[in-house]
Structure 1
Amino acid sequence: MYILNTGDTAFVMLCTALVLLMTPALALFYGGLVPSKNVLTIMMQNFISMGVVALIWIFGGFSLAFGPDLGGVIGDIRFHFALDGVGAAPGAHYARTVPFILFFAYQMMFAVIAPALITGAFAGRLNFKGYLGFLILWMILIYIPVCHWIWGGGFLARLGVADFAGGIVIHVSAGFSALASVLYLGRRAGMAPGARTIPSNLPLVAVGAGLLWFGWFGFNAGGAYAADALASYAFVNTTIAGSIAMLVWLILDWSSRRKPSFSGVLVGAVAGLATITPCAGYVEPWAAIVIGAVGSLICYYAKRVQDRFAFDDALEVWRAHGMGGLTGALLLGLLASPHINAVGASARQFWVQICGVVIVAVYAFVLTLIILWLLSRICNIRVSREEEERGLDESLYGEDAYRL
């Protein structure tokens, strides 16, 4: 029997609010990066996730992710459906000193932002009904099973796969789904291979990046589910990795372009934050320096793979989140310290991490292709060339982000 701790409860409640903030922050971040004619479209896709995912999470999503395990694959939907049995008593999974209903809310915020990350990849190409269908199916068929496999006691958890705050569950699944989506939908109209998206509002990107970084403290430190030393390590590791990755990206950009790039600095910080996410509660602060630097290098040079195969990932979601989460998950196997948490670096742990990353990446990639194929058989999900050239804000919503 676990005892409720009011300090831990207040801490996790704050972290839940911080993670919620990250989805509107992502809307600002993406909204500033896309052309002005598509700002409202991508922000709408991010905000609507907060409503649709909450409904799914209440009516079966949470049950399937965290209900009693069924064969290592999925949770039992008969438990916790419509918040049945989800109350004030502590003792759920990792959250042993906070109310179960708060654990429900905290995990819901992770579920909300996961599909929102993917929107940056297919920006300017998917219509609203297509996005709604994709959002619902992606949550049910990809996010919820993967969440159960690793955090809900599924087969990857039994194998020993570690993921402190979502490097695999969120970033790898979203990143490789993003890659599948751009390959299926094809290039944007008039977008030449290797061409870069011109941001419409860099100050808006900076506001979004700052709020994302702020929210990331709840994203990572909250994974301790207690206001303790483990949360403190995760908190400090988060900002160290983000800072180092930002500086490494600046150096790489400056040396290749002969001038520093503000947008590059912001993207580099996000890549570092994504990389530290799976490791935040498993490594010493010195390792966070290495993780931030290596993550920045991997994500920066992943651009060459993107250019080589000419896939049009508009806001480079696969590069920053997919490769960042993948890199961090593997580095966990090499740098985890048993002095911080129960997992230590070893050859076996590294191999287990490889298995976890490969299984989730392949599953997310293949299932995303199937989801998009099914949706396209039911209705037209891609906007017409005329709508794309005119801009989705006007074509789909009849509204404009800026009236100057």
Structure 2
Amino acid sequence: MEFPTIGAPDTGDTAWMLISAALVLLMTPGLAFFYGGMVRAKSVLNMIMMSIGAMGVVGILWVLYGYSMAFGEDTGHLFGDPFQYFGLKGLFGGSYLGDASTGAAAAIPLVGTIPATVFVAFQAMFAIITVALISGAVADRLRFGPWLLFAGLWATIVYFPVSHWVFAFDGVTAENGGWIANQLKAIDFAGGTAVHINAGVAGLVLAIVLGKRRGWPATPFRPHNLPFVMLGAALLWFGWFGFNAGSAVGSNGIAGATFITTVVATCAAMLAWLLVERLRDGHATTLGGASGIVAGLVAITPACSSVNVLGALFIGVVAGVLCALAVGLKFRFGFDDSLDVVGVHLVGGLVGTLLVGLVATTEAPAGVDGLFYGGGFDQLWRQAVGAGAVLLYSLVATTIVALVVKYTIGLRVSDDAEALGVDETEHAENAYDFAAMAGSSVPGRVSVREA
């Protein structure tokens, strides 16, 4: 078959995928609010700008060569041909409206039943938010210019190849796709490996290379605006329906099933996180509720097409409990993951990816049984190899990228700039009139995570 295929798109599928792409794009501003509320008042604009900056850098690289590296013809089992669709070559053109006088239908490049350009746009939003997720690990101390350079290099060297491994299926955008999707046959419906494990490992590496914040962990770094955090979590949850249900690439039953499992797992994870807080600390917090929402969304992402309602409930509970406990690991091991990218995204991504091997069922759209449903260990080892390969590659490649940037143009702001605040020193702006004087809007109270 010659790619891209030419034909008339299905209007219902196209409408749903345009909506899904917009929903996923909304997740990045949602993430900006989520992260922005969790930092101190003197860092909130910088935190928001790191997400917004990622949109600009990755959006441009994606249409130039990123899409081609992700979905072009497989090259050495490493990445797609970067020149096949360079500048989206071959994905524009054709008869868009058809010819009413002759009855000829529209004939444009397609991916499945939707225009190729719509598929490009949908997948661009995944690339953008994956890079933006990393920024939460390095709040308060990373220079903005080097962040943009890191974002571009990391997307090129890490995300584009890994997304090819995981998302490029044979015969969809090219004859030969990625090895995790086609040879290993690990299930990752919407990005537990390519997005969350990948970004979680990158956040860990960048935090270690960058070093700890001044005064951490003795100084409490309290969230300055918890309503921002909850607003961000709400926008993420709303947008995530495009992320998961949109990955069905059509308005169909798979989209419906993944929508339901996404709801169930997220609700369960939020309640599980709050229960852990109540038992451990004596109170359930707003920050915990918002974090539990994100942990559930992360964990169900790879599994949403392969589990039923009971499986989604199980994944949500396990993710809520383990992620709530995992955010404390940074204090035990001494790495300053500012906003818990490791505890939520790396741990949550691993939970969701591996539990597919336990609770997947042929009742769900993916049609595979895990260990608990009589499928043995077959799917479990596939999930473990896929997760491990992405983890290891991201670990090594991110280390190289971070060190290159560090020893060429530098990564970190000066001690004086960090004390004054990165909003002032990097952007010459303050979010609030009192930002230069106030360290927290809730003086005297220590966050659960910083206790």
State TM-score, norm by structure 2: 0.86
CA contact (8 A) 1:233 1:285 kept: no
CA contact (8 A) 2:201 2:346 kept: yes
- Write the mapping of 1:4-403 to structure 2, written as runs, cut at 5 A: 4-87=9-92, 89=108, 91-92=110-111, 96-152=112-168, 153-157=177-181, 158-192=183-217, 197-344=221-368, 345=370, 346=375, 347-403=377-433
Q: Specify every segment of 5 or more residues in structure 2 that has no aligned partner in the other structure, as ranges.
A: 97-107, 169-176, 435-451
Shift of 1:41: 0.4
* Per-residue deviation, 1:121: 0.3
Question: Structure 1: which 5+ residue stretches go unaligned?
Answer: none
| 210-219 or 76-85, which deviates more | 76-85
The total of aligned residue pairs comes to: 400
Distance 2:421 2:12 in 1: 49
* Residue of structure 1 equivalent to 2:174: none
What is the distance in 1 between the residues matched to 2:310 and 2:232? Answer: 28
CA positional deviation for 1:304: 4.1
State the distance in 1 between where 2:110 and 2:49 align: 37
Greater radius of gyration (CA): 2
Structure 1 vs Structure 2 CA RMSD: 1.4
Q: CA deviation at 1:296?
A: 0.9
Q: Secondary structure at the match of 1:235?
A: helix
Shift of 1:116: 0.3
The answer to whether the Cα contact below 8 Å between 2:329 and 2:343 also exists between their aligned partners in 1 is: no
Contact 1:173–1:361, Cα closer than 8 Å, also in 2: yes
Greater CA drift, 331-340 or 378-387: 331-340
Letter in 1 for 2:345: H
CA–CA distance in 2 between the matches of 1:197 and 1:362? 31
Deviation of residue 42 (structure 1)?
Answer: 0.9
Q: Which amino acid aligns with 1:238?
A: T
Larger % of helix: which?
Answer: 1
Deviation at 1:59, TM superposition (A): 0.8
**Using the alignment, how far apart are the partners of 1:130 and 1:165 within structure 2?**
29
How has the CA–CA distance of structure 1 residues 209 and 342 changed in structure 2, closer, same or farther, with 3 Å as cutoff? closer
* Alpha carbons 1:90, 1:97 under 8 Å: kept: no
CA apart distance, 1:182: 1.1
Q: CA deviation at 1:306?
A: 2.3
For residue 279 of structure 1, report the CA deviation from its aligned partner: 0.6
Q: Deviations over 1:211-238 (max 9, x none)?
A: 1100011010001011111101111111
